[in-house]
Structure 1
Amino acid sequence: MSRVYVIRHGRPASTWGGAEDDPGLDDLGREQAAAAMRWLMALPEGERPRQVVSSPLRRCRETAEPMARALGLEALIDARVGEIPTPSAIPAADRPAWLREAFGGDWRDVQGDLDYQAWAESVASAVAEYPGAAIFSHFVALNAAVSVASGEARVAAFRPDHCSITIFDARDGRLILSEKGREAQSQVL
């Protein structure tokens, strides 16, 4: 099976600038994670994920737990599907402003310590390495995969809601967008 399901994490207990740098899920986030697992497990046997991959951040690991448990597996942790790296010169408190600016442009225009176009391509490559998986990731990483798979240069390719499920196909090491997940109605930052 070449299908890959990328799930944005559930609603976290706090946001950037909150009490925790790596928050887990709140009650609604845990319900969202359980709903995503039920949706994935209801797929026909040949389409159901058979591997679980997660960003190392707690909100993704906690979102992945119900799916991993349902499949009787341990989630594989892969930092390549984690959060976008913040430039070293930007204090944590300024990260939301930096991201808002990045969301207004193309990957090649994002300012920072690294080549963010290359980072977006590395996210898409990582996702393509897991055919048959459910991958639990983040808003920006999911946008990176969608941008690369659809040939778009924009950072904000879409606004995935918490626990929305975006479907890709992985063919010959390439990622092909099949269906975008449910979009958020609220602000991310």
Structure 2
Amino acid sequence: MTPTPPPIQSVQQACSVTSAAPASTAWTGQTGRPTRFLLLRHGQTEYSAQRRYSGRADPELTELGHAQAAAVAAGIGSVDGTDKVSAVLSSPLRRARQTAEPVAAALGAGPVTSHEGLLETDFGAWDGLTFAEARTRDPEVHRRWLGDETVDPPGGESFAAVGTRVAKMRAELVAAHPGETLLLVSHVTPIKMLVRQALGSGPEVLYRMHLDLASLCIAEFYPDGGASVRLVNGRFPVTQV
């Protein structure tokens, strides 16, 4: 595996570039008001601390994970436009909801709504295994899975299938919330998929993008089909555990 790259910038450094353009036409050519997605990855669990696949497994946040959620809740108000969050949607899994709830409370954005489209990839038989363990268990499938987004883990879900359900969710949310700002609390793969779709890039970006736990990405989707990415892997410092 390639070394993990450093995050692009902190949330605080990114605040100056997250404002939506006030005009009805963006400088990149899109028209209308975009729906802004604040894409928050959940905090640490025992599985993530041990670098285990945790798709539909439902571990709770660790002490550090709760501290990460609290840091997001304390700092997200510094991100321009978060005072306009109209809804908070979360993966139904416990680690995402435990991250979403304190942030929603801090934003005064009302109750958290679960959305199946925000679920992590179903890793099937690999759930709970490390990378090395999954490779040892199914060497040929694992090798093909790393290079082909249409390959399913044994009993699981391909990245291509995740992309399809995420695209369906995105279209529904843009239609239902035109020009609004939504906080979506999810997992690494659905967030990467939404960033990929906003960039209009190929599958290789899934393997080259690093997202820290409790990190924030911001993507905007316009009613005419255009999109832009305003932040990738913004972090909220944890001061104590």
1:104 maps to which of 141, 146, 151: 146
CA distances 1:92-119 after superposition (whole Å, capped 9, x unpaired): 45584379757732423x3356664243
1:38 maps to which of 67, 74, 94: 74
1:166 maps to which of 217, 220, 227: 217
Conserved? CA contact 1:9–1:137, under 8 Å: yes
Q: Partner of 1:84 in structure 2?
A: 121
Counterpart Cα distance in 2 of 1:173 and 1:30: 39
Conserved? CA contact 1:81–1:127, under 8 Å: no
Counterpart Cα distance in 2 of 1:66 and 1:144: 25
Letter of the 1:126 partner, please give it.
M
Letter of the 1:39 partner, please give it.
G
Identical positions, percent:
24
1:48–1:160 Cα change, 3 Å: farther
Q: Partner of 1:186 in structure 2?
A: none
1:173–1:84 Cα change, 3 Å: farther
Specify which structure has the bigger relative contact order, considering alpha-carbon pairs within 8 angstroms and separated by 6 or more residues: 2
Q: Partner of 2:233 in structure 1?
A: 181
Counterpart Cα distance in 1 of 2:197 and 2:109: 32
CA distances 1:143-178 after superposition (whole Å, capped 9, x unpaired): 222222222222324110011100000212755322
1:138–1:43 Cα change, 3 Å: same
Q: Partner of 2:98 in structure 1?
A: 62
CA distances 1:120-147 after superposition (whole Å, capped 9, x unpaired): 1321442451641111111122122222
Task: Find out whether 1:10 has 2:52 as its counterpart.
Answer: no
Conserved? CA contact 1:40–1:49, under 8 Å: no
Counterpart Cα distance in 2 of 1:72 and 1:180: 23
Normalising to structure 2: TM-score of the pair? 0.62
Normalising to structure 1: TM-score of the pair? 0.76
Letter of the 1:104 partner, please give it.
L
Q: Which deviates more from structure 2 when the two are superposed, residues 32-41 or residues 71-80?
A: 32-41
Letter of the 1:121 partner, please give it.
T
What's the C-alpha RMSD, in Å, of the aligned pairs? 3.2
Conserved? CA contact 1:52–1:68, under 8 Å: yes
1:72–1:134 Cα change, 3 Å: closer
In structure 2, list runs of 5 or more residues that go unmatched.
1-33, 136-140, 175-179, 236-241
Q: Which deviates more from structure 2 when the two are superposed, residues 67-76 or residues 124-133?
A: 124-133
Counterpart Cα distance in 2 of 1:106 and 1:146: 19
Q: Partner of 2:13 in structure 1?
A: none
* Number of aligned positions between the proteins: 179
Task: Find out whether 1:122 has 2:172 as its counterpart.
Answer: no
